[in-house]
Homo-oligomer: A and B are copies of this chain.
Amino acid sequence: MTARVRDPREIRHWHEAVDVLVVGLGAAGAAAALEAARAGVDTLVLERAGGGGGTSAMSGGVLYLGGGTALQKACGFDDSPEEMFKYLMASCGESPDEAKLRLYCEGSVAHYEWVVAQGVPFKEVYYHGVSGEPPTDDGLVWSGSERVHPFHQIARPAPRGHVPQLPNQAGPLLMRKLVAAVESSAARIAANHRCVALVQEPDGRVVGAVAEVFGEERALRARRGVILTTGGFINNEEMIAAHQPLVSRCSFRVGAEGDDGSGIRLGIAAGADAIHMDASSISLPVTQPWGLKRGILVNAQGQRFINEDAYYGRLGEAALFHNGGHAWLVVDDEVFERPDYPRDIAAVGGSPAELERELALPPGSLESTLALYNRHAERGDDPVFHKLPEYVRPLVAPPFGAFDCTTERSLYAAFTLGGLRSDPDGRVLDPDGQPIPGLFAAGRATSGLSVGGYSSGLSLGDGTFFGRRAGRSAAARS
């Protein structure tokens, strides 16, 4: 095998033996460690950085939860596990994991209670906006495409973005609380420990790991299991090139330095399967404030390609994966306003034709797109992409402008969604669907709930939810 898998017979000295070894202290690792420790087994968490937090601490901190949580009720919203399930099945990509989605929706209300019980504060105020990073400290927000075509016809919409009480980016608060909970639990944390190999018996059982601590290797035995919660691979150029090369065009990689696929590679070297490795979350935040949804997004052919009121996670995927990252948001003088996220103005024109020339779009292409759009907009209709009437109005007031949404000159925020194949109990599976004994995983080291059409909060959501399940099943293994 590779250096990433060691034969126990090679291990001369076990530095330490524990029941459950958790690799990585982001949201998934914290959840796994807490449940393992509370199950009464000796639990050690390895973190390669000087302290916990990982990518979760750099995030918006939003957890996608619903089904009728206390927070949803306090804010006066009705929701049910069934409506949440219908939305997620329809919006999470071509073939999401139905079994995991089902469990997630059914367990969501209780999972919110658990998060609160860890000391994470949520202000019981609804923020009237769509964002993965609301500017206020309000607790509940729309963080997906629930209210727009085609989803509002598939499932009854409800806001499901649960945001810890900190303005702008609540990730640091979420992780401060979760890490504090781990610190006050029976689980121990070993910082500056980089896991470099799994220890695997010839029969396939994973019985420990090797960590590098300031250049020195330490073998750590895990009697019940090793749980990989090491994050995704957005910071591994080679893996991006091998699985989803278009992502390398994105200006902003959402990931701590540790999101280099190390845990995914450890699992693969041990015989694990990795799935949906091409799936990524691509955010193109261009339609905030909301008024900008009244503009139209066009590609290099001057064509529209999506309903502009879709969540920015969907806009980014459509622009990057289906239009090569060539996109512009076209507005007229009445729609124009300063975007919440700074964005260049690619061109301005006194007429659609002039704007088209300035953008070097094919002659007549943008003109014809605008003519068709305006013709229906007169009646508040958008029969082509079904944008909601409230955002549909003719774009006729000169000057016309285009915000630059090309990958070359604008913000695309990307992170990976594919990873190790795992079952709902966090057991890592081989290509035949058989568990690799003793090996568990959760969070972005695994293929997530969402494998496309991203809604914010699903990664922290499934990371903590299935991280807890992985912690419990590893602890229960004898």
Contacts and interface: CB of A to CB of B under 8 A. Distances in A.
Interface of A: 1-5, 7, 9, 93-95, 200, 202-204, 238-239, 241-246, 261, 264-265, 268-278, 301-304, 321-322, 362-365, 368, 371-372, 375-376, 383-385, 421, 430-434, 436, 447
A373 to B, nearest CB: 10
Contacts of A202: 1, 7, 9, 202
A326 to B, nearest CB: 13
Contacts of A368: 368, 371-372
Contacts of A304: 301
Contacts of A2: 204, 271, 430-432, 434, 436
A384 B371 contact: no
A447 B242 CA distance: 10
A69 to B, nearest CB: 31
Given A363-B383, A372-B368, A376-B363, A204 B276 contact: no
B362 A383 contact: yes
A375 B364 contact: yes
A9 B9 CA distance: 15
Contacts of A301: 303-304, 384-385
Pick the most buried of A242, A261, A301, A430: most chain B CB atoms within 10 A of its CB.
A242
Contacts of A246: 94
Interface majority SS (helix, strand, loop, mixed), chain A: loop
B276 A242 contact: yes
Contacts of A385: 301
Q: Which 7 A-B pairs have the closest CB atoms?
A: A94-B245, A1-B204, A265-B431, A242-B275, A95-B245, A278-B278, A362-B383
Given A303-B303, A385-B301, A95 B241 contact: yes
Contacts of A261: 431
Contacts of A264: 431
Contacts of A272: 268
A306 to B, nearest CB: 10
A268 B269 CA distance: 8
Contacts of A434: 2-3
Contact of A4 (B238, B275, B384, B430): B430
Contact of A430 (B9, B268, B365): B268
A364 B9 CA distance: 72
Nearest to A246: B94
A294 B384 CA distance: 25
A412 to B, nearest CB: 15
A359 to B, nearest CB: 13
Pick the most buried of A1, A261, A273, A364: most chain B CB atoms within 10 A of its CB.
A1
Given A1-B436, A301-B303, 6 more contacts: A1-B202, A2-B204, A2-B430, A3-B432, A4-B430, A363-B383
Contact of A269 (B95, B242, B271): B271
Contacts of A364: 372, 375-376
6 contacts: A1-B271, A4-B431, A5-B271, A93-B245, A321-B322, A362-B383
A431 B275 contact: no
Contacts of A9: 202
A4 B243 contact: no
A202 to B, nearest CB: 4
Nearest to A273: B268
A446 to B, nearest CB: 12
